[in-house]
Amino acid sequence: MRPLDGIKVLDFTHALAGPFCTYHLGLLGADVVKIERPGFGDDFRHYTAHGGLKMMSGPFIAANAGKRSMTLDLKAPAAREVIRRLAARSDVVVENFRPGVAKTLGLDAASLHAINPKLIYASISGFGQTGEMRDWPAIDHIVQAVSGLMQVNGEPEQDPLRIGIPVADTFSGFLAAYSILAALLQRQHTGTGQVIDVGMLDAALVMMSQIIPGVALTREPPKRSGNRGFRMVAGSDTYKTRDGFICVGANWPPQFEALCRVLGEEKLLADPRFSDDAGRVKNTVALRAELARAFADKSAEELEAKLAAAKVPAGKVRNLLDAMTHPHVVERGFFNTTDVPGLKEPAMLAGAGFQFAHDGPVRKNAVASLSQHTDEVLTELGFSGSDIDGLRRSGSV
């Protein structure tokens, strides 16, 4: 039995943050019914190149594998009874409409709690359900800009730089899944439901939690540090080698001493400028130049193993394909696979990111074609064959 076996999730989400949340609930065993627009579905079915697969873009596959797809025109009068039955049997509802849209559709927390008071109702939006910015449209890189996340990324002398993946979307979805798990546990004690408000701006600020106290104390915005480590010392930086780049994390004296020994640069330890931690911080520009020289003719591939053996954090800078095929990642069994309509071989998906000793996250699931499970779900809700035919003729499903 997996952690969320028996939990039913009603998914009114689209794009990335919301679907990423419900995808992770599905990995833990929840039965996720994804509601999509008749004929078109989630916008992300059509997002970016998709290898010739109709309505199956890569980003859609990544966030929606394992769910059941049901189409429903949420504005159709006949849809109200379908929604009522779905809400009555569900444990969790997740939506990421713009604030106010759910209420217009009769899908707000108050309306659905009137049907099922035990519902965990989670809303995900750009700026949250309250505040002066609640109605502003938002996508990932806008939130990166507004939150200050973009301002801390990049090289000191260059312009602010967007982080190259949708981190605000992704972390918002993960934060929503985490909050839903907490609310489900809370419901075991109270017997009542919960309303959850996740804003992408809030989630981006959570990602910067380690630097918030310092900024609050100094009243100075943080400076971009490029590829240098959090402590801003030369021993914790990124260096060019003969076969690429390597990141090292020699923050403390024993680590720096071990770094010098591996590099064959023990003379740096005898240099009065670098002989103690205070000197290395004071003379960091000169020390970085010395280390850059020492790294230049060496192999990142060879150094990372030697430094790790010497207890110095280090890693060669790899591209994603290299990371995906690294023997360590393969041995860990990180990836899931999913069957995709139109593909002969299963597609590769990111896993949950953690492992259980037993009955853990699902290892294989499938991506549904649009409306694949509509009749199946309606039958479970008690609609007869003639009822389903009527809903289909009216365009409600």
- Cβ atoms within 10 A of the Cβ of 89, count? 14
Active site residue: 11, 91, 108, 169, which one? 169
Query: Which are the contacts of 288, defined by CB distance < 8 A and separation ≥ 6?
Result: 234, 237
Whose CA is closest to 23, among 66, 57, 56? 66
- Provide the sign of the torsion angle of the four alpha carbons 93, 99, 101, 104, taken in this order: positive
The 3 state secondary structure assigned to 302-327 is HHHHHHHHCCCCEEECCCHHHHHCCH
User: Tokens for 188?
Assistant: 């075991």
According to DSSP, the β-strands at 347-349 and 336-339 are: antiparallel
Exposure letters 224-244 (e unless 16+ CB within 10 A, then b): bbeebbeeebbbbbebebeee
Contact 124, 17 (CB under 8 A): yes
Q: Is 65 exposed, middle or buried (0-12, 13-18, 19+ CB in 10 A)?
A: buried
243 part of the active site: no
Residues belonging to the chain: 397
Q: Whole-angstrom Cα distance, residue 212 to residue 215? A: 5
The residues that are catalytic are 169
